[in-house]
Structure 1
Amino acid sequence: MNARRVINGIAALTVGLLASSVPGPAPAQAAGNYWVYISAPTWQGNCPQGGSVKYMWAMISDSWSGGDAGDDLVYGRAYANVTQDVVTQPTCYNGSRSYVGPATSHSIRPTRNGQTWWMGPSGVSHN
């Protein structure tokens, strides 16, 4: 499967999903922005048909945080000390076959710059 087609498919899939679930802007009392790592590791159930995550994208709160090829990690901006939603979706590779893994949504509340959040169908954890 062509990588561009996978990315375009993921983007189209999420437009409707996010339109109804994206929270409004952060409260004015937010302490500023942090940069956090969002990870969709295989051990969190992100590749249920086998293989490993080789591309993923993430949306934190109401803004696109980006995607990253080659691993299961995205570095994105999040509101400090504010609970916000994160939506992720991986692309998994199993040998010569690729497929789109499950989209997930979890809430995070970053308390420091550089925190890592591991998320997937099995749940969410952080350091």
Structure 2
Amino acid sequence: MLKRKIRNLAVGLSAFGLAVSGVAATEGTANAASYGWVYIAFPKWLGNCASGNGKVTGIQAYTDYWNTNWDMGDDLVYGKVALGQRNTVIANLACKTSRGGYYQYVFRDDVVPTRNNQTVWVGQTGWTRN
């Protein structure tokens, strides 16, 4: 019984190794991306912190190439992206009102920054860039 489990584990690991080497072999065939850093803003005018008339005071955000644990103080982060390609942005916001604060899940969406240091605005009602 133990020998059978060890053999099955070895077969499974071999299959995993083949799958990983296949991915690695095909990974280099894609066009190389040009990476850059962009300002990702979560403004109120795109529906952020709209519940309770709040103001964005903190951001927890992710792109395909970067992430930040809570960045506090304003509605802006500086994130790494692939330029001219779709980048998934996922974010949670800390919102503050005169009566306290709350958290808001923003969205998961794809944005396409085109140049380094560009500003991309994202929110409940969509995204845009300068």
Output the TM-score relative to the length of structure 2. 0.70
Residue pair 2:113, 2:120 contacting (<8 A) in 1 also: no
Secondary structure of the residue aligned to 2:45 is: helix
Q: Residue deviations 1:39-70, cap 9 Å, x none?
A: 11111111122120000121012542454211
Moved over 4 A (4+): none
Given candidates 19, 27, 42, the residue that maps to 1:40 is: 42
Match of 1:31 in 2: 33
Given candidates 48, 65, 69, the residue that maps to 2:72 is: 69
Matches within 5 A, 1:10-25: none
Match of 1:117 in 2: 120
Alpha-carbon distance, 1:31 to partner: 3.1
Output the TM-score relative to the length of structure 1. 0.71
Aligned equivalents of 2:65 and 2:80: distance in 1?
Answer: 11
| CA RMSD of superposed structures (Å) | 2.0
Q: Which protein shows a greater Rg?
A: 2
Q: Does 2:81 match 1:78?
A: yes
The one-letter code sitting in structure 1 at the alignment partner of 2:116 is N
Aligned equivalents of 1:110 and 1:30: distance in 2?
Answer: 16
In terms of mean alpha carbon deviation, does 33-42 or 54-63 score higher? Answer: 54-63
Q: Residue deviations 1:70-122, cap 9 Å, x none?
A: 10001010012221211112110002401002331121122110111111111
Secondary structure of the residue aligned to 1:111 is: coil
Aligned equivalents of 2:34 and 2:68: distance in 1?
Answer: 16
Stretches of structure 1 lacking an aligned partner (at least 5 in a row): 1-24
Identity over the aligned pairs, expressed in percent? 35
Residue pair 1:55, 1:70 contacting (<8 A) in 2 also: yes
Aligned equivalents of 1:46 and 1:37: distance in 2?
Answer: 16
Stretches of structure 2 lacking an aligned partner (at least 5 in a row): 1-26
